[in-house]
Structure 1
């Protein structure tokens, strides 16, 4: 872990803003796209870069905005990785978001988010909060291989349940689906059934497969060699160096996914899910006469 003074904290425009307090991750997911060389890490991915001035930058930035909006966090690096327990930078930023009347959409795999559930509840009451949780693998033994340094799927389901009890809307990412590993009807059905039981607002999936780029591919293949002997050769034979690796079962699984979502009134189109997360209710986005 190392600390830097960042020049800015929010990315985006037009009322769509994202925030990454950390760069890198300690969760160790074997498929993580953020390891890809295109993101130009100049340090080890596990050597977490901490933007120590993130709260100060965020407060200054939000005070300068005339119109309230949603702030997203967690798209590149999980805001609740292990160092957050001590540093509490995510919590400090959430407090600033709350104090300034903005909304937030948080994406994580960690149950550490429960530490801040009261604060997230307050944000949701005063503006809007959406909690997003990734669920890829219902089998916890397999989960420990694919996502070794973070809580298992059953615990993440408990987190979603606690958010739902508070009336905090939730979105599930059922991605990636790894060819020949978790791309089974049984796995997808089990996850989908839990989503239905919980009453999640939407489920995001990008075609029942995996994407691999330089940097990410090498790490993933090393994990395959370690945990699934012979699987790397199977991938290379079928996909070569393709960026998109759709499951052989993609058509069947996508049909199952869409059917369950439609039958239960769950958003399944990614654009619809993102649109929902990016929209702050009108009563909060209206500028007062003092903002003019």
Structure 2
């Protein structure tokens, strides 16, 4: 794997972290991703990542993280914002696993979003992190159909394998849920798909599910997506162009219907779905709560 220089790893979020799973810091140990999801926002020109499908690791990440964890105030570190922390290189290089060991040592919390069932390898470390802080794990699932998953997310395990990972994490006492985003107009934007994902999430032991009913379409991302549409869904690109033009945000045309079905099914199965409720319900150890009273 190619290695790149990095001056730091932790970035303090510039927004209210409670708007996104209560995070305080964002960390990307890798640059690029080889899951090859046809819709990925991170491959857009905005982020200046050349050869996005090629994964590169950040040199001396363990040492950098050690000094930053000593320097910063404890909080929740987010993995997976730009590059999935469980890409195929992680099995060989272990940057994510080494980072989790350091985070457990220094008493920080974690929030991880991933499409990979590789995360079950680190169940023990995540449990250890929960002993002193908090952990919130989200498996990103866009379709309940494995056949469709292989088309739109060809470089990662199918959706059913992710539901299995949710079950293993949940059974281990880890706060786990589903990130149902993006919803692709004319591909995954059916009531049947939304209902199936919520039902499977419940059956898998998920505590929550968070959804957004649309997708982004930035320059760079758009061209890659349209090329994939031409290959797998002939004629659909033209429908996008007629419906959305050059819009950045492409909300599903039936988003209100989808949202209604989503809420009804979440309430039916007892799943949290509002961000404030998901954050509030995140398990926190008593020592952490006591520290916050005197900080």
TM-score, length-scaled by structure 2:
0.90
Q: 1:161: which partner in 2?
A: 167
Give me the whole-angstrom Cα distance separating, in 1, the residues matched to 2:77 and 2:26: 6
Is 1:22 equivalent to 2:30 in the alignment? yes
Q: Distance in 2 between matches of 1:221 and 1:243?
A: 14
- 2:222 and 2:102 mapped to 1: Cα distance? 38
Cα separation, 1, equivalents of 2:193 and 2:269? 19
Per the alignment, residue 11 of structure 1 pairs with: 11
Is the 8 Å Cα contact of residues 132 and 285 (structure 2) preserved in structure 1?
no
Residue 126 of structure 1, CA deviation: 3.3
Q: Match for residue 20 of structure 2?
A: none
Equivalent pair of 2:138/2:177 in contact (CA under 8 Å): yes
* Matching of residues 181-192 of structure 1 within 5 Å: 181-192=187-198
- Whether 1:254 and 2:266 are equivalent positions in the alignment is no
Distance (whole Å) between structure 2 residues aligned to residue 256 and residue 198 of structure 1:
19
Q: In structure 1, what is the equivalent of residue 272 of structure 2?
A: 267
Q: Does 1:45 align with 2:52?
A: yes
Contact 1:70 1:280 in 2 (8 A): no
Residue in 2 aligned with 1:145? 151
**Which residue of 72, 75, 82 corresponds with 1:76?**
82
Q: What is the match of residue 60 of structure 1? A: 67
Shift of 1:70: 1.4
Secondary structure of the structure 2 residue equivalent to 1:105: strand
Counterparts of 2:277 and 2:224, CA distance in 1: 32
Give the secondary-structure state (helix, strand or coil) at the position aligned to 2:250. strand
The yes-or-no answer on 1:216 pairing with 2:224 is no
Instruction: Evaluate the alpha carbon distance shift between residue 273 and residue 36 of structure 1 in structure 2; reply closer, same or farther with a 3 A threshold.
Output: farther
Gapped runs of 5+ residues in structure 1?
none
Deviation larger for 175-184 or 84-93: 175-184
Q: So what's the TM-score if we normalise by structure 1?
A: 0.91
SS in 1 for 2:42: helix
1:202 corresponding residue in structure 2: 208
**RMSD after superposition:** 2.1
The partner residue of 2:238 within 233, 242, 257 is 233
1:198 Cα offset (Å)? 2.9
Q: Choose 28-37 or 69-78, whichever is displaced more.
A: 69-78
What is the CA deviation profile of residues 109-157 of structure 1, one whole-angstrom value per residue up to 9, with x for unaligned ones? 1111111111112222332221110111111111000000100000000
Q: Where does the alignment leave 5 or more consecutive residues of structure 2 unmatched?
A: 18-22
Q: Is the 8 A contact 2:130 2:284 kept in 1?
A: no
CA offsets per residue over residues 235-279 of structure 1, 9 Å max, x none?
1011111111122221111001111223344222235435666x8
